[in-house]
């Protein structure tokens, strides 16, 4: 069972509801995979920067045109990873509140995405809990991302937009690694324990988890997702 405030029951990854979205759609050679690794999801692959002149990205995203998550009652997203099985690269968590239309050639057109970059250096240990109810290790850490830390981008470039992310209508969740124009490349790997929407009370740091990826059973159904960005960059960023 899941512990109140600590969504650590990770058996709910539904990997069939994920698919790769790599720079190969633009002629690149990067490739990503999302596999079961114990009770977590293992995001790994190769980030290539030779085919696109220094640019490159690899990602996994949720699938399904009928996916819809209402996260209005939550204050942000918590991403938990296993540091012992994760590298030092910068990753990007991406949310979309509208699905991209398909062009005549079948490829998805671009829409505004909401992104947050994270790495191991941004993670913190889980809060102390009663060891009789659940177990964790020192390598299991997490980063909490308030909604206002997600920045709007279009085709990888930060944009000014008059609207905010529609939290009542989250349609897609992605986890991406991008080259930041050559600053990172090669093999990559991160073991993701869970991605959950959480409500943080101002008077007490208790959290009520709602699943985005990984499973803390018994939580609000309309926020359940099958599903994942390091410090926000400035200017143009490679990748969608």
User: What is the CB neighbour count within 10 angstroms for residue 93?
Assistant: 25
Is residue 237 situated within a structural domain?
A: no
Q: How confident is the model at residue 25 (pLDDT cuts 50, 70, 90)?
A: confident
Is residue 239 situated within a structural domain?
A: no
Q: Which residue has better confidence, 6 or 28?
A: 28
Whether pLDDT at 15 is above 60: yes
**Which pLDDT belongs to residue 239?**
63
Domain hosting residue 21, numbered range: 15-223
Is residue 145 situated within a structural domain?
A: yes
| Count of domains forming the chain | 1
Query: What percentage of the chain has pLDDT greater than the value 70?
Result: 70
**Which pLDDT belongs to residue 215?**
47
pLDDT, mean over the chain: 79
197 backbone φψ class: left, alpha, beta (φ>0; ψ -120 to 50): beta
Distance CA 148, CA 168 (A): 15
Is residue 102 situated within a structural domain?
A: yes
Segment 137-179, tens digit of pLDDT: 678 999 999 999 999 999 888 999 889 999 999 999 999 999 9
**CATH number of the domain that 218 lies in?**
2.60.120.430
Question: 22-36, 102-116, 136-150, 203-217: lowest mean pLDDT where?
Answer: 203-217
Whether pLDDT at 32 is above 70: yes
**Which pLDDT belongs to residue 110?**
82
Is residue 232 situated within a structural domain?
A: no
Is residue 10 situated within a structural domain?
A: no
Is residue 231 situated within a structural domain?
A: no
**Which pLDDT belongs to residue 11?**
46
Segment 177-190, tens digit of pLDDT: 999 989 999 999 99
Segment 42-87, tens digit of pLDDT: 999 999 999 999 999 999 999 988 888 999 999 999 999 999 999 9
Q: Which residue has better confidence, 218 or 88?
A: 88
Q: Which residue has better confidence, 91 or 9?
A: 91
Is residue 233 situated within a structural domain?
A: no
Q: What is the 3-state secondary structure (H, E, C) of the chain?
A: CCECCECCCECCCCHHHEEECCHHHHCCCCEEEEEEECCEEEEEEEECCCCECCECEEEEEECCCCCCECCCCCCEEEEEEEHHHCCCCCEEEEEECCCCCECCCCCECCCCEEEEEECHHHCEECCCCCCCCCCCCCCEEEEEEEHHHCEEEECCEECCCCCCCCCCCECEEEEEEECCCCCCCEEEEEEEEEEEEEEECCCCCCEEEEEEECECCCCCHHHCCCCCCCCCCCCECCCC
């Amino acid at each position: 069972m899941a512990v109140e405030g600590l969504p650590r029951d990770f058996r709910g990854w539904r990997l069939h509801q994920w698919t790769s979205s790599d720079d190969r759609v633009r002629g690149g050679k990067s490739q990503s995979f999302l596999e079961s690794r114990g009770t977590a999801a293992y995001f790994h692959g190769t980030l290539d920067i030779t085919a696109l002149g220094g640019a490159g990205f690899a990602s996994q995203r949720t699938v399904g045109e009928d996916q819809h998550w209402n996260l209005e009652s939550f204050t942000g997203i918590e991403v938990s990873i296993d540091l012992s099985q994760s590298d030092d690269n910068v990753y990007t968590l991406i949310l979309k509140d509208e699905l991209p239309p398909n062009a005549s050639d079948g490829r998805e057109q671009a829409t505004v995405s909401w992104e947050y970059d994270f790495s191991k250096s941004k993670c913190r240990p889980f809060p102390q809990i009663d060891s009789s109810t659940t177990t964790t290790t020192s390598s299991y850490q997490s980063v909490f991302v308030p909604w206002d830390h997600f920045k709007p981008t279009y085709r990888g470039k930060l944009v000014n937009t008059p609207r905010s992310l529609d939290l009542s209508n989250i349609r897609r969740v992605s986890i991406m690694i991008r080259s930041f124009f050559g600053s990172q490349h090669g093999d990559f790997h991160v073991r993701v324990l869970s991605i959950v929407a959480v409500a943080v009370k101002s008077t007490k740091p208790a959290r009520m988890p709602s699943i985005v990826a990984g499973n803390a059973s018994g939580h609000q159904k309309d926020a359940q997702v099958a599903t994942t960005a390091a410090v926000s960059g400035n200017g143009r960023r490679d990748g969608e």
